């Protein structure tokens, strides 16, 4: 009788323990959110949300905290990365899902995994050595620019876009493709008119997560953007992004300056969460459908 009780107790206990462990992920997100906000909010309250976000000047030593140039920097580099990464990523996922012979898949899939695994600092370094000088000698300027950042981030977000898009193309029911082919469409027409539209939500979710990666990337942009705090006028100008701002100055900041970096973190956090929630919403809607 005692043994039976112990067994039942152990069963309950294991469930409880797993549940408590599962709560850790919730608490992690909550604690992160709370600490970032608590550390950054005082400064935003002092400066004012509007002048913090739309302020043109960032000069912590004089108590000026405006991050508009960095928001513009983040947006422009991300847009550039998206322009390169999205079409290439979607093409690669079509290649993987539809065209690649088995032998190519054996090479391609691990290669994309490796691409995801290489430390971002290595990409940044490669950008410094290759892309930056190439831009400078062909297009003029310093080379440290939105363009350089966009190219490298565009490559870095490929694995995210490719893996998610590929899965959503492969996951389509077979009869979509077979039906279209049976109607006399060519393989390419089938991909373009049937498979891509049907896999749209998965692809969009992948793209959004890829964009999230570009927005959040730090080391690469520090290394190739030049980090000037000014409004860019062309894609050959140097900019600073939100992440760079934190990464560069956290090492020596203190007081209000440090708070301002956390406030920058809040803005970044909010942008990322909006992207995350959008991607999750899209994926969930797909599941329901």
Partner 1 sequence: MNVNSRTAEKIAKGFIWVIALTVIAVLIFIIAFILYRGLSVINWEFLTSVPRRSGRIGGIASPIVGTLSVTVLAVMIAMPFGVGTAFYLAEYTRGGIVTRIIRFCTESLAGIPSIIYGLFGFIFFVDVLGLDWSILSGGLTVAIMILPTLIRTSEEAIRSVPKTYREVSYSLGGTKWQTIRKAVVPSAIRGISNGLILSVGRCVAETAALIMTAGDELVMPRSVMDSSRTMAVHFYTLVMEGLSERNAYGTAAVLIILVFLINVVANAMINRFVAKGR
62-121 residues in contact with partner 1 (CB under 8 A) are 88, 91-92, 94-96, 99-100, 104, 107-108, 110-111, 113-115, 117-121
Closer Cβ to partner 1, 56 or 218, answer by number: 218
Alpha helices for 48-101 (secondary structure H) = 49-54, 68-94
Residue 135 Cβ, how far from partner 1 at the closest point, in Å?
A: 16
Q: Is 255 in the site for partner 1 (CB under 8 A)?
A: no
Closer Cβ to partner 1, 33 or 59, answer by number: 33
Binding mask of the shown chain, residues 18 to 37, with x at each position contacting partner 1 by CB under 8 A? xxxxxxxxx-xx-xx--xx-
Nearest Cα residue to 211 out of 80, 53, 73, 122 = 80
63, 234, 273, 285: which one binds partner 1 (CB under 8 A): 273
Q: Is 58 in the site for partner 1 (CB under 8 A)?
A: no
Q: Is 183 in the site for partner 1 (CB under 8 A)?
A: no
Q: Is 11 in the site for partner 1 (CB under 8 A)?
A: yes
Closer Cβ to partner 1, 113 or 234, answer by number: 113
- Helix (H) or strand (E) holding 59, with range, is strand 58-59
Burial class (CB in 10 A: 0-12, 13-18, 19+), 185: middle
Contact 55, 70 (CB under 8 A): no
């Amino acid at each position: 009788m005692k043994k039976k009780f112990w067994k039942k107790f152990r069963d309950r206990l294991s469930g409880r323990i797993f549940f408590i462990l599962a709560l850790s992920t919730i608490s992690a997100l909550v604690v992160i959110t709370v600490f970032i906000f608590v550390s950054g909010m005082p400064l935003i309250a002092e400066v004012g949300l509007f002048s913090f976000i739309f302020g043109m000047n960032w000069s912590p030593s004089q108590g000026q905290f405006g991050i508009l140039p960095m928001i513009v920097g983040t947006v422009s580099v991300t847009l550039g990365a998206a322009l390169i990464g999205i079409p290439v990523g979607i093409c690669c996922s079509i290649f993987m899902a539809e065209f690649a012979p088995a032998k190519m898949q054996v090479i391609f899939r691990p290669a994309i995994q490796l691409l995801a695994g290489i430390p971002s600092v290595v990409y940044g370094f490669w950008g410094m050595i290759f892309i930056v000088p190439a831009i400078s000698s062909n297009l003029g300027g310093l080379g440290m620019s939105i363009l350089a950042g966009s190219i490298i981030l565009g490559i870095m977000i490929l694995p995210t876009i490719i893996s998610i898009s590929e899965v959503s193309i492969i996951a389509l029911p077979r009869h979509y493709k077979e039906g279209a082919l049976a109607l006399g469409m060519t393989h390419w027409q089938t991909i373009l008119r049937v498979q891509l539209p049907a896999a749209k939500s998965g692809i969009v979710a992948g793209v959004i997560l890829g964009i999230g990666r570009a927005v959040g990337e730090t080391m690469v942009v520090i290394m190739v953007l030049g980090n000037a705090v000014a409004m860019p006028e062309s894609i050959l100008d140097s900019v600073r992004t939100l992440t760079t701002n934190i990464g560069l100055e956290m090492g020596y900041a203190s007081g209000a300056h440090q708070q301002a970096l956390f406030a920058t973190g809040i803005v970044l956090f909010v942008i990322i969460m909006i992207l995350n929630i959008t991607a999750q919403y899209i994926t969930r809607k797909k599941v329901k459908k």
